[in-house]
Structure 1
Amino acid sequence: MSTKPSAIYLASQSPRRAELLRQMDVGFEQISVDVDETPADNEVPESYVVRVAGDKARAGWQFVEQQGFKPMPVLGADTAVVLGHEIMGKPRDRTHGLTMLSALSGRTHQVMTAVCFQWQRRQWCLLNTTQVTFRAISPTELQQYWDTGEPIGKAGAYAIQGRAGVFVEHLKGSYSAVVGLPLLETHQLLNEINQTPDYE
């Protein structure tokens, strides 16, 4: 394995992304950023996910500079559940969450996760798209799942690494990307940054 930056900033408070970075043995510090995640008019899902991840990385770098923190690459990531061409965001309430889960039942959807790094004025981004197929799920089962509280705050109203794992009939692509951070793409970008002449 190539030498990677010894430490980075993770522009996210997600415990799932933090755990995946630990799995990669990457040193990091978490910082909070606030960016507008509203899709633009006629914005396709692929462009949306990359834009938001890039905005997070850029906002994180600006925060690091403003606070006078030690300069280190900033990782921003964003995950979207996409059914057809519709971006399924986080559920607003129980009704919205159950509607999304019902739509995913017995169908194949895409999970798009973009990872971006900001280092000074340069930004690197990669997008992973994984196909996830849910088995047919009964309305009672969906209601019981919602009542666990797990769907709250999750894209598409589910967490594959949690109880929703029993819904997955087939997955084609990257499991870690569905959780929130594609390990392969993250590793590739870290190596690219390491080869940048002005990186120390």
Structure 2
Amino acid sequence: MVAPQLSALTRSPIVLGSRSPRRRDLLAQLVPQERIVVRPPSSSDEAGFNGLASWAEIETRLFEIVRVKNEDVRAHSDPAAAVLSADTVIVGEAEGELAVLGQPPEDESWREVVRGWFHRYLLGRPHFAVTGACLSLGERNWECVVRTKVVFTLAEPAMVDWYLDTGEPVGKAGGYGLQGAGSVFVEMIDGSPSNVIGLPLRETRNMLIDAGLLDGPTMA
């Protein structure tokens, strides 16, 4: 079988294996919208982070999650298609222990869960947004994991109540959205802002270029 020419690859579709509209919008900053085919994984079930106490364990699990998502989407896509999957978590620390904050519960308990996260792990202290991404094309995979340090200011309980009333924390890793009202809490970002939203643009661009899906130089 003859390998596709570079010019053909740079026009070919990219299957985004994600339910996140924010991730789709970020990918559209790198490639035209018409090249993006959104195909979420068939199952929303994924491995958790309970009992993982080190960065190495957390990042290994994140890689496992994005690989499973990628394989799921590939199984329902054209075998020749490029598939991009990603997952983002927030990692906080309290009393010397790391805690992975995923999306809040889908039931009514989400408000109290997010309130607890804010007061225990987020307000007035640093935390990390961590995204794992996997791009597959044919038999090859390109992967990355990116950390961004975020520092929230201290805020009164009334501010947290106001934010909860916006409903924005629902469906957001760590219970906040950097691209929305959650930005009012942010005092400093060290690293990629797009990574906090859900897709590290520099690293994703580099993977697309390495795979021949995008023209241009890579960035360190």
Does TM, scored on the shorter chain, surpass 0.5?
yes
1:150 aligns with 2:159: no
- Counterpart of 2:159 in structure 1 is 141
- Counterpart of 1:128 in structure 2 is 146
Q: Which amino acid aligns with 1:38?
A: G
- Counterpart of 1:159 in structure 2 is 177
Q: How does 1:33-182 map to 2 (within 5 A)?
A: 33=41, 34=43, 35-39=45-49, 41-42=51-52, 44-64=57-77, 69=78, 71-84=80-93, 85-92=98-105, 93-103=110-120, 104-182=122-200
- Counterpart of 2:18 in structure 1 is 12
CA–CA separation in structure 2 for the residues paired with 1:102 and 1:45: 22
Query: Where do 5+ consecutive residues of structure 1 fail to align?
Result: 196-200
Matched positions, count: 190
1:191/1:52 CA distance change after superposition, 3 Å: same
Tell me if the contact between 1:10 and 1:74 (Cα under 8 Å) persists in the aligned partners: yes
- Counterpart of 1:30 in structure 2 is 38
RMSD between aligned residues: 1.9
Q: Which amino acid aligns with 1:20?
A: L
How far is the alpha carbon of 1:40 from its aligned partner?
Answer: 6.2
How far is the alpha carbon of 1:38 from its aligned partner?
Answer: 1.8
Tell me if the contact between 1:45 and 1:82 (Cα under 8 Å) persists in the aligned partners: no
How far is the alpha carbon of 1:119 from its aligned partner?
Answer: 2.0
CA deviation profile, 1:139-184 (whole Å, cap 9, x unmatched): 1110110111100111100000000111110000000110100011
Identical-pair percentage = 32
CA–CA separation in structure 2 for the residues paired with 1:168 and 1:36: 29
Query: Which of 185, 189, 193 lines up with 2:203 in the alignment?
Result: 185
TM-score by length of 1: 0.88
* Superposed structure 1 runs of 4+ greater than 3 Å apart: 2-5, 40-43
CA–CA separation in structure 2 for the residues paired with 1:79 and 1:45: 11
For 2:147, what is the secondary structure of its paired residue? strand
Q: Which amino acid aligns with 2:112?
A: T
CA–CA separation in structure 2 for the residues paired with 1:141 and 1:111: 22
TM-score by length of 2: 0.80
Tell me if the contact between 1:56 and 1:76 (Cα under 8 Å) persists in the aligned partners: yes
CA–CA separation in structure 2 for the residues paired with 1:112 and 1:100: 16
CA–CA separation in structure 2 for the residues paired with 1:53 and 1:158: 21
Q: Which amino acid aligns with 1:36?
A: E
Tell me if the contact between 2:14 and 2:81 (Cα under 8 Å) persists in the aligned partners: yes
Tell me if the contact between 2:16 and 2:85 (Cα under 8 Å) persists in the aligned partners: yes
- Counterpart of 1:198 in structure 2 is none
